[in-house]
Amino acid sequence: MEVKIKAIHFEATDRLNDFIIKKVEKLGKHNEMIGVAEVVLKVVKPETAMNKEASVKLLVPQREDLFASKVANTFEEAVDNCVDALKRQLEKGRREPGKPGRGPEGPGHPGEPGRP
């Protein structure tokens, strides 16, 4: 998986870039088809708490792109939260039947059409 990192109006440190790559590449365990991960970092409002925003977009062939955006006190925390949200999206996608690239096992909610 290729990880593209873009920091808007600041330069990200090597340590931050390494952290992002390490975290985002773990998403490949949930879906081997992920081709590119685009990460955008920006400071929302300087000099306030909760002002670091991270957005992560996963480009997955034969499936809609996945996206998460989170704001936190640090970029590391924001990226962590994005990765957690994307893990849930990837797991949800695996459980939904009838969608391209997704497994046959469904959540089986009662009351769904065709379900008891």
Residues 62-116 pLDDT 10s: 889 999 999 999 999 999 999 999 999 998 876 655 555 444 334 444 444 444 4
Run of H or E including 82: helix 75-95
The amino acid at residue 26 is: K
- Report the SS3 class of residue 23: helix
CATH architecture of 2-95: 2-Layer Sandwich (3.30)
| Rounded Cα gap, residues 69 and 56, in angstroms | 6
Structure confidence at residue 68 (pLDDT): 98
Residues 50-60 pLDDT 10s: 999 999 999 98
Q: In sequence order, what are the residues at sequence separation of 6 or more whose Cβ sits closer than 8 angstroms to the Cβ of residue 1?
A: 24, 25, 27, 28, 34, 35, 36, 37
Identify the burial level of 94 via C-beta atoms within 10 angstroms of its C-beta, where 0-12 means exposed, 13-18 middle and 19 or more buried: middle
pTM: 0.79
Tokens of 55: 């957005």
For the chain, which residues make up each domain, given as ranges?
2-95
Mean per-residue pLDDT for 30-46?
A: 92
What are phi and psi for residue 83, nearest 5 degrees? -60, -40
List the beta strands (DSSP E) in 27-116. Answer: 36-43, 52-59, 66-72
Mean per-residue pLDDT for 10-29?
A: 96
